[in-house]
Amino acid sequence: MVSSADSTARPPRPITFSGSLLDRAGNPRRNAEWLAEKRDLASSRFLPMRELKPLIDVSGKPARLAWQPVDFARRHASLPTIFLGLQGDIAHFAIDCDADETVATLHGETVKFIDVRSIAPMVAPEEAAILAQARSLIDWHQRHGFCAQCGSPTTLAEAGYSRRCSNANCRAQHFPRTDPVVIMLAVRRDETTGQEMVLLGRQPQFMPGMFSALAGFMEPGESIEEAVRREIAEETGVPCGAVRYIASQPWPFPSSLMIGCVADALDATITVDRAELEDARWFSRDEIALMLENSTNPEATPRMPPPLSLAHQIAKRWLAGA
Ligand SMILES: [Zn+2]
């Protein structure tokens, strides 16, 4: 039997920016011949990106990625090209077009360069996941043109999954990094009412009425559990015990991995760190349910962030019994 809690635990779509259908082909893509052959096949597809914005076909609903044929790639062979993966036999690539102004002319009525955050909710989930991969990788290449060890120029290598130092005495290899961020709900049972309560905070730059899960970058030499407890304590003064992992989300702005958790709070007293937060409060289950329902209504106060966010998804899963 499926209970109502089970059915709400199953989201209608994967967490945004995950769920790509592409096989990244991590082993064959290291083979330069294999890669060159795929890059020149008539069946291969190429996604142009300008200023980290993908080309999107907006002529139908949902919007779709505006893949270009191999002729496009041949005309722009000098531009940085990243292998995204295979779907069946079809190879998919992203091309960083910033160095070629002529590509701007692709932008028109039916296809447009649109930023990833705006377009993600408008495309199929598996296409949003491809955008996360392409955006993070191209951004990393753009910002890592020089070797961190010796300062010499680096060049794109291994289908876009590393950069190699050009200095023959160095030859250091650099890899794209992913920055882990913990995002969490602290929960406790109110001693008087017996109600389960959830701790949310408000940053000064949030839209009016928005409260969200606390979050922060993990530090070197720290476990996920330790980072969760440290961030909650720093921002609200609330000590926590057990920490449970709920779900994660790639966040390509520029290349974070959001790690969603629930932590058991050991005390209800809140001391807000005003440098980080404007407010922090305990909300009941019923309030959280309403805040999720109101998440896409900009007039609603209080409300949680929209379904695109991991804060929304972990709150939804927690309500459903996770
Ligand atoms: Zn070097």
Domain boundaries, given as residue ranges, for the chain: 28-143, 178-319
Same fold, 28-143 and 178-319: yes
Q: What is the CA radius of gyration of the chain?
A: 22
Alpha carbon 18 to chain centroid distance? 8
84-98 average pLDDT score: 98
Average pLDDT over residues 112-117: 97
Q: How confident is the model at residue 13 (pLDDT cuts 50, 70, 90)?
A: low
Rounded distance from Cα 99 to ligand 1 centre (Å): 24
Instruction: Note whether 28 and 34 are within 8 A (CB).
Output: yes
Say how many Å lie between the CA of residue 142 and the centre of ligand 1.
17
DSSP state of 214: E
Residue 2 has pLDDT above 50, yes or no: no
Closest CA to 76 of 54, 103, 55: 103
pLDDT for 11:
46
Average pLDDT over residues 253-281: 97
Ligand 1 geometric centre to CA of 67 (Å): 35
How would residue 322 be classed by pLDDT, with cut points 50, 70 and 90? Answer: confident
What totals of helices (H) and strands (E) does the chain contain, helices first?
8, 15
Distance 304 CA to ligand 1 centre (A): 46
CATH topology of domain 28-143: Nucleoside Triphosphate Pyrophosphohydrolase (3.90.79)
HSE-up (13 A, CA, CB side) for residue 278:
11
What crossing angle do the helices spanning 285-293 and 310-319 adopt, rounded to 10°? 130
**Cut 0.75: pTM above it:** yes
Q: What separation in Å is there between the alpha carbon of 149 and the centre of ligand 1?
A: 5
Give the domain 178-319 fold: Nucleoside Triphosphate Pyrophosphohydrolase (3.90.79)
Asked if 161 and 50 touch (Cβ cutoff 8 Å), the reply is no
Give distance in angstroms: CA of 159 to centre of ligand 1: 20
Q: 174 alpha carbon to ligand 1 midpoint, in Å?
A: 9
Q: How far is the CA of 140 from the centre of ligand 1 (A)?
A: 17
Question: Measured in angstroms, how far is the CA atom of residue 165 from the centroid of ligand 1?
Answer: 5
In order of 143, 150, 155, 289, the CA distances from 167 in angstroms are 18, 8, 11, 57
- 209's torsion region: left (phi>0), alpha (psi -120 to 50) or beta? left
CA 172 to chain CA centroid, Å, is: 28
Residue 86 has pLDDT above 80, yes or no: yes
Contact between residue 119 and residue 130 where contact means Cβ atoms under 8 Å apart: no
